[in-house]
């Protein structure tokens, strides 16, 4: 499992605690750190001693928002053949790993959705006045927090997998076969600043013949509230994403192969 983070150790602490409570554990956790300060390293070092699986810290200098680059570095550090990707400001449902594994299949990658917690609930979680459980809800997208074992399989190949939603993904909740990531050279590091790098990766995977499954009513993540990142680079990133669609691109030049 790859967990991305940047200078929010309190949120990362809650994420790591939720991983420790999973019913099925990943083989390892790689914290992909896009230049956090010393507090994050100290937190990870503290949790390494009590974590039930290997907890590995992959760090790069803070040179601006470089999510694509740190994810590639983390992918290269993984030892397994299947990679589940989340963000470090998420709390994971106890069945999160089981749900991803249950519908995993060669020739497919998976994306899921998230429950976005409001500011008040987030504050309670972070100051330990509310212990998270599987009942976390938010009125804006309550459906994303509903759990159904049967519905997961029924919807996985049909929900948001065609038409204008064909390329829709949430980078905070995805999983891939490592060989498929290698085939398209992982994330495109031409993406700088917030936005669209996850969609562009999905587009290249689909162009390369890897199909998408959508994990609905399972693989649930709860997103802690925070202010949105700057979107000053969004249009340039949208242009890169659209080029991948129009030119049917499968490979990026600046990608995963730099670290393998």
pLDDT reported for residue 141: 72
Question: Is the domain 2-258 a CATH 3.90.550.10 member?
Answer: yes
- 168-203 burial by CB neighbour count: b if 16+ within 10 A, else e? bbbbbbbbbbbebbbbbbbbbbebbbbbbbbbbbbb
pLDDT reported for residue 136: 60
Q: Which tokens go with 11?
A: 């949120």
Asked if residues 255 and 185 have their Cβ atoms less than 8 Å apart, the reply is yes
10-residue mean pLDDT series, the chain (260 residues): 98 97 97 98 97 98 96 98 98 97 97 92 83 55 84 92 93 98 98 92 98 96 86 86 97 98
pLDDT reported for residue 135: 54
Cα–Cα nearest to 224, from 144, 146, 136? 136
CA distance 211 to 243: 19
Asked if residues 31 and 88 have their Cβ atoms less than 8 Å apart, the reply is yes
Q: Write the CA distances from 159 to 1, 152, 213, integer angstroms.
A: 24, 10, 8
Q: Which tokens go with 249?
A: 């691109």
Q: Which distant-in-sequence residues (6+ apart) come within 8 Å of 24 by Cβ?
A: 95, 97, 98, 101
Dihedral Cα 42, 4, 51, 173, nearest 10 deg: 160
pLDDT reported for residue 134: 47
């Amino acid at each position: 499992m790859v967990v991305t983070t940047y200078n929010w150790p309190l949120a990362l602490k809650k994420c790591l605690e939720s991983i420790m409570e999973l019913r099925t554990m990943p083989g390892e956790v790689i914290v992909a750190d896009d230049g956090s300060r010393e507090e994050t390293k100290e937190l990870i070092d503290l949790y390494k001693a009590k974590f039930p699986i290997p907890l590995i810290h992959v760090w790069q200098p803070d040179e601006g928002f470089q999510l694509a680059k740190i994810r590639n570095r983390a992918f290269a550090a993984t030892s397994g053949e299947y990679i589940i990707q989340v963000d470090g400001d998420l709390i994971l449902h106890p069945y999160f790993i089981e749900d991803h594994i249950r519908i995993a299949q060669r020739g497919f990658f998976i994306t899921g959705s998230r429950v976005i917690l409001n500011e008040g609930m987030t504050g309670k979680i972070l100051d330990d006045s509310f212990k998270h459980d599987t009942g976390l809800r938010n009125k804006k997208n309550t459906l994303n927090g509903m759990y159904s074992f049967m519905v997961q399989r029924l919807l996985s190949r049909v929900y948001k997998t065609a038409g204008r939603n064909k390329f829709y993904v949430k980078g905070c909740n995805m999983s891939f076969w490592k060989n498929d990531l290698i085939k398209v050279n992982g994330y495109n590091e031409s993406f700088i600043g917030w936005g669209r790098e996850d969609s562009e990766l999905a587009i290249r995977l689909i162009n390369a013949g890897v199909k998408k499954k959508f994990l609905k009513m399972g693989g649930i993540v709860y997103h802690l509230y925070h202010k949105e990142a700057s979107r000053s680079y969004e249009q340039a990133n949208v242009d890169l994403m659209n080029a991948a669609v129009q030119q049917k691109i499968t490979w990026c030049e600046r990608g995963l192969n730099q670290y393998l």
